[in-house]
Each structure stands twice: as C-alpha cells, then as structure tokens.
Amino acid sequence: MATRIILGPLLTTYTPSRSCTIPVHICTRNGPYGLRNCFAFRAQSCSLTTISRTSTNVVPDDQLSCWPSWTEAAPIITSGPVRGLGAYSPGLICPSGYATACTSTYGGHGNFQFQFPLTPGETAAGCCPSGYFCQPGTFQSCVLSVSSTTYAGLVCNQSGSGTVREGIVVPSVFTTTLSDESATTTRVLTAATHTFFAPLIQLNWQTEDLALITSDPTGVPTETNNSTDAGNKGGLSVGAGIGIGISVMILFLLLLGALAYFCRGRLRGYYGVPPTPPAANPPDNKPSEMDSKALPESARITYNTSYVPPISPRFELDPHQTWELPATRPGVVESPA
C-alpha cells in the first residue's frame, strides 16, 4: 500500500511565480536518426546528475517553491520530476491557474486512483493547470499533449544552468548531419507533438472541513474550474458597481427633470403669450345712439342698477403697432428634433 504523506492544510489561494509556469524543455532521440521526443516539465529547474564516475547528465528537478507551502513536519521526498510530494489535508482551494481535473472518494468512487490513499469519509481532488489531465501511475502528475503551439521553455546546458528560449514551435523540426570518411549524411526529423507535465496538487477533505471556508464557498474544489484570480483584492463586485452607477444616473435624471419642469413654469409665466387686447374704442363719428324713449315699450331694456359687473383691465394699442412673439425664449434650451 502506498505511503500516506500529508503536507498540511491548504485553505488559501496559492499563486505560483512566473518561473513555475516556464517548463524545462527537453528533446530526446533514439540513435542518431531515431524518432525525436520532446517534453516540457513545469515547476522544474535544471539539475546536474552524476551518471558514473566520469559522466554527468542534466535533468529536470522539482522546484519546491512552486508547490504551496507545507508544514515543517511533512516528510518531503523528491526522486524525479513531478512525482508527487504528498496530499494537502484539509485542502479546499486549488492554486491560481489550476482547476479540478479529477476526483475520488474513499472506497474507489471517482475517476482517478490517487497516489496518496484516502481515509474513511475523505474526498480527494486533483488540481492541474487549466487544460491538463490527471495521469495515473506509480507517481501522479498532470499531462497535456500538444500538436500545435508556441511557448517559452527553459533549455538546460551541460553546466546545470538553464536559459529561457522564446518561441519554441510545435511541431519541431530538427536537422541532423553525420559525417564519416566516406560521406556526409543529413536528415530532417520532426517531433510532431510535445508532451507537457506539471505537478498534481492533491487536496483531501471531509464534509465537516467545508465549514473552514466561510468567505468564499466557491473555492471548494469541484469538477469545474475553481481557480481564483490572484488580482482580485476584494471591494465591490462588477455587478454591484454597475447597479450603483445606474441608480445614481436615474436619480440625476429625476432631479434634472424636476428642475426643467419648475423652470418651464416660471418662464411660461414671464415670457408667455400676452392676453389678446380688447377691441379699440369706436371713433367719435359713430352713429348717434337712438333715444330709448323713442323705442316702443316692448323693446326697451331695463338694467339692474344694484349689480355692478367687475371691471376688466383694458389695453389700448396703437393701430399701427405690430406684436411679435420671440422666436426662442431666453434661458430655454431647445432639444434637437
């Protein structure tokens, strides 16, 4: 049975540095004209390994700073690239840029057999970089096979150091030239795909552990992408900000409408159409009024002298004066048609 190694809890979002995302680029071949195989290992550094007393080799080695931190008591063992350090328990949040790629529960229910076994009541999730898959085996890891891309890779040299090479193209074309005493032979070889590897972060938890996440329940691993944006530093959400902006705009428009209605009433009273002036007094050469006494009794009009009608103001205009209304009202802005 595999050894159960617990690294400690993982309840916050871990953000790997950029160097953790630049893979160590290695291409191998089977013989001088053999098939080329290219690999890219994330979270690795170049390591000089002694093969024999007179021979060394440069291989990728786990860059431990690319894993979330663990407790001091955790028995860290490394024996090759991305071979698994242990499980985080309780572990509830995948690192930034990672997503849940596989899950399992105690008793074998799930789609992956984890390297570090579960205990009764536990659930495990495997966090991989977005797009990667969980790779089973003696050592668990994340894997992705790519047939067309361009990426930056760390190329190791024989001294054990590395240089970042930009623009590594997949598929890769290699030209090999061999010379002997009789002839020179050149062959072109192609690596049609590159296989990428990355650490699998195993998270173990039980149902009661979910209460440890109170501020962000979406951080609990599921079979969907639950990576957290490291740039999110709190504050209002985008939806809340939009709602506040719309409310302020509506309030401003209401106040503007009320002000326009008030000003329109004031301007109408001051610059309104003047009342129609009454007809001018008849000229002096009007026909003389008939003597009421000359009318027959039936045609005479009797006035009630006890009632005096109200006197309306009368306006007299010069018969030659022309009244014109202003084309626009001062202080009023006309809306375009």
Q: Which domain holds residue 150?
A: 6-177+185-220
- Does residue 242 register a pLDDT over 60? no
pLDDT score recorded for residue 29: 73
233 within a domain of the structure (yes/no): no
66 within a domain of the structure (yes/no): yes
53 within a domain of the structure (yes/no): yes
133 within a domain of the structure (yes/no): yes
What is residue 240's three-state secondary structure?
helix
Which three-class secondary structure string do you get for 198-216? ECCEEEEECHHHHHHCCCC
As for how many domains the chain has, the answer is 1
pLDDT score recorded for residue 102: 96
318 within a domain of the structure (yes/no): no
Binning pLDDT at 50, 70 and 90, where does residue 13 land?
very high
226 within a domain of the structure (yes/no): no
276 within a domain of the structure (yes/no): no
Average pLDDT, stretch 219-223? Answer: 54
Residue 25: closest CA among 179, 196, 268, 143:
196
pLDDT score recorded for residue 283: 52
Q: 138-173, pLDDT tens digit by residue?
A: 789 999 999 999 999 999 988 888 899 999 999 988
pLDDT score recorded for residue 33: 61
pLDDT score recorded for residue 161: 86
77 CB contacts (<8 Å, ≥6 apart)?
Answer: 5, 85
212 within a domain of the structure (yes/no): yes
pTM: 0.60
